[in-house]
Amino acid sequence: MAKEKSQQSNFEEVAEKIQSMLASMNYGSITIVVQDGKVIQLERNEKVRIK
């Protein structure tokens, strides 16, 4: 049961961080790195378009 709470907490934290990253970028990608079933890293790759 404690593991379920930990996973739920991790999921909520990751979801909030991804939402924040998406809100602040126009072009690019977000890479999610998973280890042992847990998200351990988020990588943001942003493109800047010059018109």
16 part of a folded domain: yes
**Residue 18: Cβ within 10 Å count:** 15
Number of domains in the chain: 1
Query: Residue 51: what pLDDT?
Result: 84
pLDDT for 47 = 85
Alpha carbon 17 to chain centroid, angstroms? 5
Domain-located, residue 26: yes
Quote the domain boundaries for residue 31. Answer: 2-46
Q: Tens place of pLDDT for every residue, the chain, 51 residues? A: 666 667 777 889 999 999 999 999 989 999 999 998 889 999 999 988 888
Residue 40 within a domain: yes
Cβ-contact 42, 34 below 8 angstroms: no
Q: Is residue 28 part of a domain?
A: yes
In this prediction, residue 1 carries a pLDDT of 62
On whether residue 51 sits in a domain, the answer given is no
